[in-house]
């Protein structure tokens, strides 16, 4: 009986998270175009529905009903599987993200945490591991298309992965030093009390602001967003790794990219900005309302990061391949290493 | 806690991830299938040809291709493993005390030496 | 004899047939023997008294009735002396070959290919003599010959344009392009790297987002590094030069809009200036002012377009929308002025079409009040942006010497520090009556060319504001009953005017026999028109010296060793427009 209840609860939780993520992606496609539009003195989509709000629906329907072309020279199996290989890691990363307070409720005799699908003790590693699997989808998609533009895009993606994966890993070590845990739930709980406890500020020990900057730059690179959108650089490689993709498979790459964006925003929120905690205690409201204010603050912070993604896209030109690698290896890596050393020294002196 | 309990706990904790993976895969496959059922299919040789800006491709794209970042890729593998060693240390930092601190500083020192060596040797130069 | 020509005649008395200065138009020209041409060319290039270091154009003309049927016409320019020289050499139909000069002036490479393609004159010793504008497998011969019909010979009617929907899907085959077709896109000299056996040849264009139209460049890649970048032009070749031979001088005018369609009016200006020079016409003062104002506004529009697309090529999308916002204001103004937004047509032979209204002047003044702030706004996104600097500094470097040797003009040349601006060298319009400077780059990289163009916008603002202040009253069209159609009210009242009107519009005016070259500084560089008149109402030969075409000749040189990303930067930095490049 317990197993059935547990399974039912988990399934509904996963369903809710997946729906929430997919809806957010839909919203983001609209928001991105609107935000970019406003920054560029234009309106963005205006035709579908009032102020273009139904644009994502129209886009989704179009892609769903569109002919899905597999080029004749492509490796059909790889070509079909690559988008899914890209999409799955982007979705399942959300399994360890705490969206709200660390509550445990008793449902029919089963301990149940409503705001996190599963609180595993290697959460950070889990996310890092799956984030890099997503890049395989891109590399395979680029290779299997049998188009030179796709191939170049795929290879660039590999170059990007090896340049920035390391920095993501290193930038997190500082947070781990302070929190002594790999579980995202524990890390969030450790930042309770007020914004000065968030690891970005980390009152009383070494602030992780530098680590945060390294993390966010590397994350932009890992999600293939401007100025690091080399694998799909539209002015150079036409559409890069998804040049040959159309219809639903194209949509999956799109979903994966935006899913990853949301995921890294969630991770940044949890690791550096206190997750669901309000900046000051008073804004958190009474204990019984923590689920509401917690969700609000979490969403608020995540959208802040997403806005940052759009903002960067509107502002910066694209880096070049060699510049990107040089920046990752010769600038970010030493900074991240220095941050670890400084943090550990501080943590040792002021335990 | 006995070994089997620990195993059970791990299973219950990791089981949702398995379900999630299956669901995500299922979502992907089912959507693809549904889309496949409703979409129009008018293949023709021009449409199925590889995109190369409207010109005839000179050759198959699966050809030996010089990736310039080969050495960097090897360095990445090595350094990434070293980073993984930092993780357990960082978590148990508070229990390890001064010995752990010094040990890890030596480890990071070695890391830095390797890094500086690679830099000086020009391995990080892109071309 | 003009003193400039004396050393040539003294050194090669037997090679030079005629050495003259056109008494009306002032052009210096030589008629030389074709078989002595190469030695002479070397002398022209190397001798310090001549120093004809800049190749402006190579043109060809066909005289079917003459004994030596073809004439190859070279336009050379000495930047240090500021003198132009035209050299003509005749070749017979049977031989139809002349020695190449593409190793003396590297810019001659593409120009000679063009002459070969369109007129069928072979250049002995040319490294890569292939068709350039027409397709490689073009079967109908050489279209600019006089015996070639303007509508072609039916080759195109054999094309199957429609996709074959009912046919079954063809088996995909790994059909390799034959080696001889691949070879032309591959670099011969590959220093170092001996181990490499396979090269990737990548088509960039014609259907590519950043090739600014239908340009095709075949890249030979070593990883992402470019070992050779061979432009393949002609996808937008419309044969404007051939068409012009069948039109009266006035009818050619609308065809010039379609050359550089981003700044259509500067093309009009270049053309009407050439015709005016041919018939020796002076333009009323107010018209000169208006022409200068509009040409500079058009330059701003062109540079705004360039800035937007260059930034977009490098990945900064916002700048593109911002520059188009300002461009929009000016396009509205053009619409008020001449009723069109893209194919603007405002300049007339002898003046302009309509007068500037007070409303347009006040709109212009209003625009220039806010425009400096807008330029600063672009600068906030680019000038101090480290990614932008990294992507432009040290990219596609060309030294001043090389740039001259390739015949580059305009901002691309000035970015390399060569102070060649026709508006200063041979002032036209009212450029000599206003104060302005020629901005010059230092390093000849993409950033310097960016900086030069940004400065040019400031200079344009200066010129326009002074012109608006000085703008005199007066007519805007010259009065010349033989050439310029009389105003409509007169046509309705006056018999004489009616007859002139009728003749001009049915037959066109007839300029005197002669030929002339006239270059104009357009946003892209030097747009030159070379006109040969045989005394009839249609140009016997009209050659367009388009800056984009000549810039493409230096593409391979500038792109080698850079990355794919930089190729897009180079497209942007040339500011190419294929309508003008392919003509």
Q: How many domains does chain A have?
A: 1
**Domain C6-124 matches domain C240-545 at the CATH topology level:** no
At residue C180, the pLDDT reads 65
Q: Which DSSP helix (H) or strand (E) runs through C77? A: strand C70-78
Average pLDDT of every residue of chain B: 81
CA atoms A302, A306, A309, A314: torsion sign: negative
Give the pLDDT mean for C32-36. 84
| B57 contact A CB<8A | yes
Q: Does the residue A9 lie in any domain? A: no
Among A1-10, A197-206, C537-546, top mean pLDDT goes to: C537-546
Q: What is the pLDDT of residues A165-189, one digit of tens each?
A: 888 888 888 888 888 888 888 888 8
SS3 (DSSP) at A85: helix
**Cβ contact A231:A157 at 8 Å:** yes
Q: What is the pLDDT of residues C433-488, one digit of tens each?
A: 888 889 988 888 899 999 999 999 989 998 998 988 888 888 888 888 788 888 88
CB contact under 8 A, A318 and C565: yes
Q: Which residues from chain C sit within 8 angstroms of residue B55, using beta carbons?
A: 203, 205-206, 216
Average pLDDT of every residue of chain C: 85
Q: Which DSSP helix (H) or strand (E) runs through A138? A: helix A123-144
Listed in sequence order, the residues at least 6 apart from C61 whose beta carbon sits closer than 8 Å to its beta carbon are C70, C71, C73, C532, C540, C541
- Full residue range of the structural domain in which residue A168 is found: 74-103+119-349
CATH of domain C6-124: 3.30.460.80
Q: What is the pLDDT of residues C264-299, one digit of tens each?
A: 888 999 999 999 888 888 888 889 899 999 999 999
What value of ipTM does the predicted structure carry? 0.84
Rounded CA gap, B77 and A279, in Å? 39
Give the pLDDT mean for B111-117. 88
Give the pLDDT mean for A17-26. 89
- Give this prediction's pTM: 0.87
Which chain B residue has the Cα nearest residue C196? B66
Identify the band that residue C194 occupies on the pLDDT scale cut at 50, 70 and 90.
Answer: very low
Q: What is the pLDDT of residues B48-107, one digit of tens each?
A: 778 877 777 777 777 777 777 778 888 888 888 888 888 888 888 778 778 888 888 888
For chain C, what are the domain ranges?
A: 6-124, 178-237+547-565, 240-545
Q: How far is B1 from chain A, CA to nearest CA, in Å?
A: 17
Q: Which of A343, A189, A162, A203 is nearest to A270 (CA)?
A: A189
For chain B, state the CA radius of gyration: 26
| A112 contact B CB<8A | no
**Cβ contact C87:C39 at 8 Å:** no
At residue C183, the pLDDT reads 65
CB contact under 8 A, B35 and A65: yes
Exposure of C130 by Cβ count < 10 A (0-12 exposed, 13-18 middle, 19+ buried)? exposed
SS3 (DSSP) at A111: strand
SS3 (DSSP) at C139: coil
CB contact under 8 A, A238 and C208: yes
Rounded CA gap, C349 and C353, in Å? 9
Give the CA angle between residues B25, B27, B32 to the nearest 5°.
100
Partner residue opposite A317 with nearest CB, options C172, C174, C391: C391
CB contact under 8 A, A120 and B105: no
At residue C489, the pLDDT reads 84
Q: Which residues from chain B sit within 8 angstroms of residue A347, using beta carbons?
A: 93-94
The answer regarding whether domain C240-545 maps to CATH 1.10.3720.10 reads: no
At residue C163, the pLDDT reads 56
| B27 contact A CB<8A | yes
Identify the band that residue C195 occupies on the pLDDT scale cut at 50, 70 and 90.
Answer: very low
| A72 contact B CB<8A | yes
Q: How far is A305 from chain B, CA to nearest CA, in Å?
A: 25
CB contact under 8 A, A344 and B93: yes
Rounded CA gap, C498 and C346, in Å? 23
Question: DSSP readout, C338-404?
Answer: HS-SSS---EETTEESSPPPHHHHHHHHHHHHHHHHHHHHHHHHHTT-HHHHHHHTTSS---HHHHH
For chain B, what are the domain ranges?
A: 3-120
Chosen from B58, B63, B65, B72 to mutate, greatest number of chain C CBs within 10 A: B58
At residue A302, the pLDDT reads 92
Tokens in use for A179? 């929190």
Q: Which of C69, C32, C27 is nearest to C278 (CA)?
A: C27
Chosen from C181, C194, C223 to mutate, greatest number of chain B CBs within 10 A: C223
Tokens in use for C531? 């006109």
Q: How far is A214 from chain B, CA to nearest CA, in Å?
A: 15
Which chain C residue has the Cα nearest residue A71? C172
Packing angle of the helix pair B70-91, A148-179 (nearest 10 deg): 20
Tokens in use for C158? 């054999």
Partner residue opposite A65 with nearest CB, options B38, B65, B104: B38
Which chain B residue has the Cα nearest residue C174? B60
Question: DSSP readout, C278-343?
Answer: HHT----HHHHHHHHHHHHHHHHHHHHHHHHHHHHHHT-HHHHHHHHHHHHHHHHHHHHHHS-SSS
Class of domain B3-120: mainly alpha
The CA-atom distances, in angstroms, between A77 and each of A134, A141, A142, A291 are 17, 10, 13, 44
Question: Domain C178-237+547-565 falls in which CATH fold?
Answer: Enolase-like; domain 1 (3.30.390)
Which chain A residue has the Cα nearest residue C169? A72
Among B58-72, C199-213, C414-428, C501-515, which is the least confidently predicted range?
Answer: B58-72
Give the pLDDT mean for A247-275. 89
CB contact under 8 A, B54 and C223: no
């Amino acid at each position: 009986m317990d197993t059935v209840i547990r399974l039912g609860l988990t399934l509904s939780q996963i369903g809710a998270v997946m729906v929430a993520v997919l809806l957010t992606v839909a919203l983001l496609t609209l928001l991105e175009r609107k935000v970019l539009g406003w920054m560029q003195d234009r309106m963005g989509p205006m035709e579908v529905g009032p102020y273009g709000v139904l644009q994502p629906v129209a886009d989704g329907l179009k892609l769903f009903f569109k002919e899905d072309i597999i080029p004749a020279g492509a490796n059909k199996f790889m070509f079909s599987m690559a988008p899914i290989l890209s999409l799955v890691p982007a979705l399942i990363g959300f399994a360890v993200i705490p969206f709200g307070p660390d509550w445990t409720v008793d449902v029919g005799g089963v301990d149940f945490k409503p705001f996190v699908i599963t609180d595993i003790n290697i959460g950070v590693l889990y996310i890092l591991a799956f984030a890099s699997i997503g890049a395989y989808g891109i590399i395979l998609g680029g290779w299997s298309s049998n188009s030179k533009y796709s191939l170049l895009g795929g290879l660039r993606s590999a170059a990007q992965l090896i340049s920035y994966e390391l920095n993501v890993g290193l930038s997190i070590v500082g947070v781990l030093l302070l929190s002594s845990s790999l579980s995202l739930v524990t890390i969030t709980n450790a930042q309770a009390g007020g914004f000065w406890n968030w690891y970005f500020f980390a009152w009383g020990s070494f602030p992780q602001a530098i680590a945060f900057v390294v993390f966010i730059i590397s994350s932009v690179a890992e999600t293939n967003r401007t100025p690091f959108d080399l694998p799909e650089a539209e002015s150079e490689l036409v559409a890069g790794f998804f040049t040959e993709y159309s219809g639903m498979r194209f949509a999956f790459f799109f979903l994966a990219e935006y899913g990853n964006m949301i995921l890294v925003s969630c991770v940044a929120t949890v690791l550096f900005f206190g997750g669901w905690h309000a900046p000051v205690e008073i804004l958190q409201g009474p204990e019984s309302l923590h689920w509401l204010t917690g969700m609000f603050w979490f969403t608020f912070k995540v959208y802040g990061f997403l806005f940052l993604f759009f903002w960067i896209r509107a502002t910066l030109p694209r880096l070049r391949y060699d510049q990107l690698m040089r920046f990752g290896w010769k600038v970010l890596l030493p900074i991240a290493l220095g941050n670890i050393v400084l943090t550990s020294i501080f943590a040792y002196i002021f335990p | 806690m006995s070994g089997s309990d620990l195993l059970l706990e791990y299973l219950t904790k990791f089981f949702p991830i398995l379900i999630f993976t299956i669901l995500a895969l299922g979502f992907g496959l089912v959507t693809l299938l549904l889309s496949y059922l409703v979409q129009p299919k008018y293949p023709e040789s021009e449409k199925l040809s590889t995109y190369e800006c409207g010109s005839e491709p000179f050759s198959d794209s699966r050809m030996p291709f010089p990736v310039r970042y080969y050495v960097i890729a090897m360095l990445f593998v090595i350094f990434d493993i070293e980073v993984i060693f930092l993780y357990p240390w960082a978590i148990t930092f508070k229990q390890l005390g001064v010995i752990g601190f010094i040990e890890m500083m030596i480890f990071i020192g070695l890391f830095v030496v390797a890094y500086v060596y690679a830099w000086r040797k020009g391995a990080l130069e892109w071309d | 004899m003009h003193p400039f020509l004396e050393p040539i005649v003294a050194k090669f008395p037997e090679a030079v047939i005629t050495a003259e200065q056109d008494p009306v138009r002032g052009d210096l020209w030589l008629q030389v023997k074709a078989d002595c041409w190469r030695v002479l060319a070397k002398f022209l290039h190397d001798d310090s008294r001549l120093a004809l270091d800049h190749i402006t154009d190579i043109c060809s003309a066909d005289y079917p009735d003459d004994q030596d049927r073809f004439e190859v016409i070279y336009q050379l320019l000495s930047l240090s002396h500021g003198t132009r020289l035209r050299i003509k050499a005749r070749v017979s139909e049977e031989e139809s070959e002349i020695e190449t000069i593409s190793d003396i002036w590297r810019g001659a490479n593409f120009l000679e290919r063009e002459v070969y393609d369109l007129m069928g004159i072979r250049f002995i010793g040319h490294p890569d003599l292939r068709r350039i504008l027409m397709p490689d497998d073009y079967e109908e011969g050489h279209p600019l010959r006089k015996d070639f019909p303007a509508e072609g010979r039916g080759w195109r009617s054999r094309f199957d344009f429609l996709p074959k929907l009912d046919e079954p899907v063809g088996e995909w085959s790994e059909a390799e392009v034959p080696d001889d077709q691949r070879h032309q896109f591959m670099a011969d000299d590959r220093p170092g790297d001996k181990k490499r056996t396979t090269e990737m040849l990548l088509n960039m264009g014609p259907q590519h987002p950043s090739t600014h139209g239908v340009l095709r460049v075949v890249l030979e890649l070593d990883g992402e590094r470019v070992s050779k970048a061979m432009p393949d032009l002609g996808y937008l070749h419309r044969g404007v030069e051939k068409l012009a031979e069948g039109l009266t001088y006035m009818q050619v005018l609308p065809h010039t809009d379609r050359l550089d369609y981003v700044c259509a009016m500067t093309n009009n200006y270049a053309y009407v200036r050439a015709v005016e020079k041919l018939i020796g016409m002076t333009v009323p003062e107010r018209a000169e002012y208006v022409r200068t104002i509009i040409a500079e506004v058009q330059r701003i529009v062109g540079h705004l377009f360039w800035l937007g697309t260059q930034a977009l090529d490098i990945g900064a999308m916002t700048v593109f929308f911002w520059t188009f916002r300002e461009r929009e204001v000016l396009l509205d103004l053009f619409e008020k002025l001449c009723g069109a937004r893209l194919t603007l047509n405002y300049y007339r032979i002898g003046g302009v079409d309509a007068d500037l209204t007070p409303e347009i002047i006040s709109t212009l003044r209003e625009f220039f009040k806010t425009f400096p702030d807008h330029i600063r706004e672009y600068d906030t996104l680019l000038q101090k942006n480290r990614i932008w600097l990294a992507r432009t500094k040290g990219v596609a470097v060309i030294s001043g010497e090389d740039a001259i040797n390739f015949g580059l003009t305009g901002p691309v040349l000035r970015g390399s520090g060569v102070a060649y601006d026709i508006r200063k060298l041979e002032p036209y319009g009212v450029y000599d009556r206003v104060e302005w400077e020629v901005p010059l780059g230092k390093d000849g990289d993409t950033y310097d060319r960016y900086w030069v163009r940004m400065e040019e916008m400031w200079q344009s603002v200066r010129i326009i504001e002074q012109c608006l202040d000085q703008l005199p009253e007066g007519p805007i069209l010259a009065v010349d009953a033989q050439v310029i159609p009389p105003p409509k009210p007169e046509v309705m009242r006056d018999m004489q005017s009616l007859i002139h009107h009728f003749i001009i519009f049915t037959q066109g005016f007839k300029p005197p026999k002669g030929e002339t070259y006239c270059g104009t500084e357009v946003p892209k560089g030097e747009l030159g028109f070379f006109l040969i008149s045989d005394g009839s109402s249609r140009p016997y030969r009209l050659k367009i010296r388009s800056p984009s075409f000549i810039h493409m000749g230096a593409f391979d040189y500038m792109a080698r060793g850079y990355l794919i990303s930089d190729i897009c930067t180079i497209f942007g930095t040339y500011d190419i427009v294929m309508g003008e490049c392919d003509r």
